[in-house]
Amino acid sequence: MRRHRVALATALSAVAVGGVVAASSAQGAPGADPAAAPPSTALGHVAAALPSGCYGQTDRPHNSTHEPGSINVVARTVCAGLGVHVDTALYRSRWYGWQQRGSGSNNGVGSVTTNAAESAADCDGTHDYLGSSYHEASNGAWARTSNRADRLTC
Any idea what the CATH number is for the domain that residue 129 is in? 2.60.40.10
Q: How far apart are CA 58 and CA 132, in angstroms?
A: 7
Indicate the number of domains in the chain: 1
Parallel/antiparallel/unpaired status of strands 71-94 and 13-14: unpaired
Its domain, for residue 50, covers 3-153
For residue range 42-65, what is the model confidence (pLDDT) as tens digits? Answer: 323 333 445 677 999 999 999 999
For residue range 17-39, what is the model confidence (pLDDT) as tens digits? Answer: 223 233 333 333 334 444 444 44
Q: Is the pLDDT of residue 99 over 80?
A: yes
Parallel/antiparallel/unpaired status of strands 142-153 and 126-137: antiparallel
